[in-house]
Amino acid sequence: MKVFRNRTSLTYILKLLAFTILIPSISFAAAFVRVNQVGYPANGSKRAYLMASGVETGATFAVKNSGGTTLLSGPIGANLGSWSNSYPDVYALDFSTVTAAGTYTITVSGPIAASSPTFKIDSAANVYSTPLSNSLFFYQNERDGPNFIASPLRTAAGHVNDQSATVYITPSTNNNGRFSGDLKPVSPATVIDASGGWWDAGDYLKFVQTTSYTLGVLLIGARDFPNQMGAGSSDFTAEGKFGLDWMQHMWDDNNKVLYYQVGIGNGNSQTVSDHDIWRLPQADDTYGGCTSPATRRMPISACSPPSTSSTLQIQRPAAIC
């Protein structure tokens, strides 16, 4: 058997590497037209944005209906600045004069061509009815506590033990949100009704700061747009009251204490927390076979009372066994 040796020299390899390094990197020009995917009210202002990897000098845009007919064309708007390093040039595309109901696309002709996804123009009622209904459905499914709304996503109440939740001192955590040791109840021992409210950010924690902002926007919408958010299939009135009821639970008027958080995200060897496990919300009340009522309640976090300098917390680990 003959064995052949590769006689490629080190010099050859180094030359090849040097040549490769010296080749300028190849950049690909790209541009996109961003539109409102919900749609545009026929009588409202309408704007899309051209995002480009390079300057679009002399570019034009056209608004076309589903049949390919151009209803509006003209030069792109002024350069509004940078979106990112990859897309340093952003241009406004105004087409408010297009008012006929229908499905449209926007195409850009110029140094870097682009086209938009399809979008619709319709009455405000038709444009916003589905997103509003979906938003209401989302909040209804995010309800915690006994007053839940049955749906294909919700078949049982969750965290009913929050009706008697224990208040704990906020633990010191590291950069990853982890803490050492066990959670320590406040002294004197304090139990509050923290039931209700909406879950936050895809987990089962509940926060006053995010809920208060969301609730404010929701109630302003119901006040300013009563026909869209205060009646019919998108009536947020009951949902607004549900949020207000929980906010009132989180304020102790007698002692002037605001409780700001229910649950704890990251636990440790002694505490199984919200982010540590996958489960349905109703499983938390009896998770892990814990038998003591105190181990089956979400811990509560609180802001400090005016007369103290300590930090309190209502927290709810999934279980402390």
- Tens of pLDDT, residue by residue over 225-275, are 999 999 888 999 999 999 999 999 999 998 889 998 998 888 888 888 888
| pTM for this prediction | 0.75
Predicted pLDDT at 286: 83
156 contacts 166 by C-beta, under 8 angstroms: no
Predicted pLDDT at 16: 43
Distance CA 143, CA 246 (A): 10
pLDDT digits (tens, 9 = 90+) for 162-208: 999 989 888 888 887 778 888 888 889 999 999 999 998 889 999 99
What angle (nearest 5°) sits at the alpha carbon of residue 60, between those of residues 54 and 61?
105
Distance CA 193, CA 107 (A): 56
Using the predicted structure, report yes or no on whether residue 314 has a pLDDT greater than 60: no
Question: From start to end of the chain, where are the E strands?
Answer: 31-34, 40-41, 47-52, 60-65, 70-75, 79-81, 89-94, 102-109, 114-115, 119-122, 165-166, 168-169, 191-192, 206-207, 251-252, 257-262, 299-302, 312-315
Predicted pLDDT at 255: 87
What rounded mean pLDDT belongs to the chain? 84
Mean pLDDT throughout 214-229? 94
Give me the helices (H) in 237-310, please.
Answer: 237-249
Burial of residue 240 (number of CB atoms within 10 Å: 0-12, 13-18, 19+): buried
Domains of the chain and CATH, by start = 31-122 (2.60.40.10), 140-315 (no CATH)
pLDDT digits (tens, 9 = 90+) for 113-156: 999 999 999 999 999 999 999 999 999 999 999 999 999 999 99
Q: Residue 306: is the preceding peptide bond cis (ω within 30°)?
A: no
Using the predicted structure, report yes or no on whether residue 7 has a pLDDT greater than 50: no
Predicted pLDDT at 184: 87
